[in-house]
């Protein structure tokens, strides 16, 4: 009986060390200049923050997960705010490029795996109680600039993205710059959102680009 008790205590200690270590051992932070970090109730196995710039803020009010989060910031005066009880199952990659951008993830939102890219001067808002499946990509800009040869005018300008509350985003969905998804929406797997969906809330959208195929719906986790 004594040996069984010691074995149980040993395994319990391993579990505690793995999942409930102090935040300082869970964070891998690399930055060149000033970065403000505010973290509350962090229960994560792996968090990596790489910041190149000044005046940036990462404000985390609490994850409830054991996934992997990578945050990369290259610019100044950017804000990342993650509200309470955000659940990351596998991987969340956040990339902020340029200056003066904002990312907000609402409370009780769950993410299996996603790539979020916020480009200069834009914001990405994800509402409360959203459910984001695997391999979802959200971008507020393009990877490279396209210029008019004669005038040098920038043709592919950045544009903010808004995802309302209680939105279900299916697997491998792409949400591109300028997209607005109303609250209560369902976005079918492998769909592409390219613009503001100005139809009423609580609709199902599918396709490339998406089209409304049903309205007046609700979904349950």
98 vs 35, more confident = 98
Contact yes or no for 177/162 (Cβ under 8 A): no
Share of the chain above pLDDT 90, in %: 61
Mean pLDDT across the chain, nearest whole number?
Answer: 85
pLDDT tens digits, one per residue of 45-59? 467 888 888 889 888
Q: Is 221 exposed, middle or buried (0-12, 13-18, 19+ CB in 10 A)?
A: exposed
Copy the structure tokens of residue 146: 């396209």
Residue 199's pLDDT is what? 74
Residue 100's pLDDT is what? 96
d(CA 40, CA 63): 9
Copy the structure tokens of residue 58: 């990462």
Residue 11's pLDDT is what? 58
Does pLDDT of 44 surpass 70? no
The predicted model scores a pTM of 0.82
Domains and CATH numbers, the chain: 36-215 (2.160.10.10)
């Amino acid at each position: 009986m004594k040996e069984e008790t010691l074995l149980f205590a040993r395994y319990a200690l391993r579990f505690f060390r793995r999942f409930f270590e102090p935040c300082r051992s869970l964070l891998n932070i690399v930055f060149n200049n000033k970065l403000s970090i505010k973290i509350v109730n962090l229960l994560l196995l792996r968090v990596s923050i790489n910041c190149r710039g000044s005046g940036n803020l990462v404000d985390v009010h609490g994850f409830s997960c054991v996934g992997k989060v990578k945050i990369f910031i290259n610019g100044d005066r950017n804000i990342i705010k993650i509200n309470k009880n955000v659940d990351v199952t596998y991987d969340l990659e956040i990339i902020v490029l340029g200056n003066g951008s904002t990312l907000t993830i609402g409370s009780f939102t769950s993410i299996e795996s996603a790539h979020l890219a916020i480009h200069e001067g834009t914001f990405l808002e994800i509402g409360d109680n959203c459910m984001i499946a695997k391999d979802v990509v959200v971008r507020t800009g393009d990877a490279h600039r396209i210029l008019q040869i004669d005038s040098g005018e920038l043709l592919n300008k950045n544009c903010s993205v808004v995802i309302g509350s209680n939105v279900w985003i299916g697997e491998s969905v792409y949400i591109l710059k300028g997209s607005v998804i109303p609250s209560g929406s369902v976005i079918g797997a492998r769909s592409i959102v390219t613009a503001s969906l100005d139809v009423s809330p609580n609709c199902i959208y599918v396709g490339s680009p998406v089209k409304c195929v049903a309205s007046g719906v609700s979904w349950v986790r």
